[in-house]
Structure 1
Amino acid sequence: MAGLPERLTVISLLRHVLTSEWEMQSYVLQIRQLSESHTGINIAEVLKSAVKEWGLDKIGTRIAVTDNASNMRVAVKEAELSPHIRCFAHTLNLASQAGLKVNTVSRLLGRVRRVASFFHCSSTATAVLTTKQKLLNLPVHKLIIDVVTRWNSSLDMVERYLEQQQAVAAALLSDELRHKSREIDTLDTSDIANAEDLVKILLPIKKATTVLCDESQPTVSLISPLKQMIQDSMATDNHNSNAIAQMKAVILKDLTDRYQGEDEKFMQESSALDPCFWTLQHLGSGEREDVFERIKFKASQMQQQDQDVLPRCPHSADLDDSSVSFVPPLKKHALEDLLGSSFSSNQVTGGIQAQIDSYCKEALVSLSACPLKWWRDNAGRYPILSSLAKTYLCIPATSVPSERVFSTAGDIVNAQRSLLPCNVDLLIFLKKNLKLS
């Protein structure tokens, strides 16, 4: 594990829902260090090896969730993994950073940063600020200095400044600091208005990122409605200043350009199979009909497959073995073998349409409810749709769960512990999957 941050490590995750309990669990399939050049072709070879070793090459749909890096896009394409879900948290991060790089917004952040740095670097200034906070009945909080690579820290910095702006202005005008703060330029009325608008723009994005990083409930179905909500919030109005209008336009363009074509269709289908969002209120009636037509087609394909091949998680005794056991294929009835091609297709299609029609009359469930539990409770009424929903909703919307594996490994492996690599694998696996009663 030494030198891990210096080398690229590829993690392939399978999000698998147990049919009996409908519990979502993460299985770390493969952890490999790539010592060669980090090109898409080399990464693709690692992914292909992981897919073959775990028997995923026997499955028609192999979904990949990665960040937006160009080499990962090439790797997923070369490894023939589809669809490719680009981490929505990373997408929001890139869009937000692009908005904060607008010249006028960047200069505003720079001014706030200089004020915060002044109070951080001077114990006298800190003491004066604390005194003013108490006199003005404000929370005794320190100002925050942002980290350029973390856009949410810029949001936190501006929020804290707005909270303490009265105390900051009073402190800078005090006799103790007046001669030291001549080069500190405080924000005027228009700057404060821009800072408040900046917080209004970025706060929903921060909340969306937090929701998407949850591992206890499905998240892929959230991408489409959250993306639409954020895009709608980027509409400019007459009250926006030039700086805020430019920032909104940059964020909107960056976000819109990253989800198009088949990726966008897959997000819509995921939302349609979530009982919290099946109405697809962010789409027009024609688009909604197209989404359910695609769902009908895919459900029909799934039902007409001759074999039902699903991977199961290997027991701990099997972890050292590269082979993976599978559920045996379902046997056909004699009549299905003889007459299935003539009669089964229409029956399957008709049954799916009936389930879709009934499903589209259901009342929306609470946003706090778990969609997988709803499908478990209603699997008897929607046997075909429930199986299809399982294959969609078990997909994570972000690559955060895989990144957390590295944090777990850092907690397990240290200089005081001597562990074999196989034991490290087992401990990480158990940590991420074992539920203690």
Structure 2
Amino acid sequence: MIERVLEQRKAISDVLSADRKTRHLVPSWQDLDVLESVNLALHPLQEFTDALSGEIYVNVSYVKPVLHLLKTSVLVEKEDDTDLTKSIKVKILDYMNTKYDDPGTQKLLDIASFMDPRFKVTYISSEKVEDIKSRIMSEMKDSAQEGTHSENTEAQTMEPPSEKKTKRSLGSLLKTNPSPTPTASFMHLEQAVEAELNSYLFSPTIHSEDPLAWRKLHQVTYPKLTKLARKYLCIPATSSPSKGSSALQGMW
């Protein structure tokens, strides 16, 4: 809206000046300076707003990269910025830092960014990388063990009941089961999870709009990570659709 006013400033002034009742509404040079300062601060954000409102493919893994770009490039103060433009940029950055400073939110954003094959650890601070890797490995193991437990439970449920229930001897009732110890299968799972995670990290980053499509294509190579990715990469980047996307709004 501000950009259109600045583009049509002469036409607006001519129309307003033609009527005695509206001449006082003609924008002064001070008004135009304010509008130009606001436009300089907000105009670069328009493309990000439109891109993040693309509900079909934009998920929460985008948030960390976009925040990084805004802080290091888009909203960085420039020499020719007016005081008002600089003030607006500072307030926007302060707002974003406050909005995402919760540790739980930060961890979610880090994990989602890690799970995205376009970003991985690129936008995660170096001191947090090992912690995020440990968290993801733990979730991969838990997910794999839950899957194995579910399969075993289903198999036990499908077993036909015995024709006749036999009595157990007193000796069998008193016999204690050996305490569980780390099995070879557990050690194998530990190694498999670590190998899969390292293989993913060493693979080249991709350039695609849809990381889930890449995950589907490589789910055989990264089965445990793919299962975990569905948990995080399905979260949308924004809760508010673009008002211009009427077709998408209709779908929702």
TM-score bucket (shorter structure): 0.7 to 0.9
Classify 1:225/1:193 alpha carbon distance in 2 versus 1 (closer, same or farther; 3 Å): farther
Classify 1:262/1:344 alpha carbon distance in 2 versus 1 (closer, same or farther; 3 Å): farther
Once the two structures are TM-superposed, the CA of residue 264 in structure 1 deviates from its matched residue by 1.0
Once the two structures are TM-superposed, the CA of residue 276 in structure 1 deviates from its matched residue by 1.6
- 1:130-279 aligned at under 5 Å gives the runs 157-172=1-16, 176-177=18-19, 179-188=20-29, 192=32, 194-232=34-72, 233-259=74-100, 260-279=102-121
Once the two structures are TM-superposed, the CA of residue 194 in structure 1 deviates from its matched residue by 4.5
Classify 1:400/1:250 alpha carbon distance in 2 versus 1 (closer, same or farther; 3 Å): closer
Classify 1:400/1:183 alpha carbon distance in 2 versus 1 (closer, same or farther; 3 Å): closer
- 1:276-291 aligned at under 5 Å gives the runs 276-280=118-122, 282-291=123-132
Q: Secondary structure at the match of 1:304?
A: helix
Once the two structures are TM-superposed, the CA of residue 186 in structure 1 deviates from its matched residue by 1.9
Check whether the contact 1:219–1:395 (CA below 8 A) recurs between aligned residues: yes
CA distance in 1, matches of 2:8, 2:25: 16
Once the two structures are TM-superposed, the CA of residue 306 in structure 1 deviates from its matched residue by 6.2
Give the corresponding residue for 1:331.
152
Once the two structures are TM-superposed, the CA of residue 256 in structure 1 deviates from its matched residue by 1.0
Classify 1:210/1:341 alpha carbon distance in 2 versus 1 (closer, same or farther; 3 Å): farther
* TM-superposition CA deviations, 1:166-201 (whole Å, max 9, x none): 33344455xx34x4444224242x654553342343
Check whether the contact 1:204–1:230 (CA below 8 A) recurs between aligned residues: no
Give the corresponding residue for 1:386.
226
Which protein, 1 or 2, shows the higher relative CO under an 8 Å CA cutoff with sep ≥ 6? 2
Once the two structures are TM-superposed, the CA of residue 351 in structure 1 deviates from its matched residue by 1.5
* TM-superposition CA deviations, 1:34-66 (whole Å, max 9, x none): xxxxxxxxxxxxxxxxxxxxxxxxxxxxxxxxx
CA distance in 2, matches of 1:168, 1:224: 41
Check whether the contact 2:41–2:88 (CA below 8 A) recurs between aligned residues: no
CA distance in 2, matches of 1:218, 1:242: 34
Which structure: greater helix fraction? 2
Check whether the contact 2:63–2:109 (CA below 8 A) recurs between aligned residues: yes
Give the corresponding residue for 2:190.
349
The structure number with the bigger radius of gyration is 2
Classify 1:390/1:278 alpha carbon distance in 2 versus 1 (closer, same or farther; 3 Å): same
Once the two structures are TM-superposed, the CA of residue 251 in structure 1 deviates from its matched residue by 1.5
Letter in 1 for 2:125: G
CA distance in 2, matches of 1:298, 1:204: 38
TM-score, normalised via structure 1 length: 0.45
Once the two structures are TM-superposed, the CA of residue 341 in structure 1 deviates from its matched residue by 3.8
Give the corresponding residue for 1:57.
none
Give the corresponding residue for 1:398.
238
- Counting matched residue pairs gives 222
Once the two structures are TM-superposed, the CA of residue 344 in structure 1 deviates from its matched residue by 3.1
CA distance in 1, matches of 2:28, 2:129: 48
Structure 2: which 5+ runs fail to align?
157-178
Give the corresponding residue for 2:216.
376
Give the share of equivalent positions with the same residue, in percent: 25
Classify 1:344/1:218 alpha carbon distance in 2 versus 1 (closer, same or farther; 3 Å): farther
Which structure: greater strand fraction? 1
Check whether the contact 1:220–1:267 (CA below 8 A) recurs between aligned residues: yes
TM-score, normalised via structure 2 length: 0.73
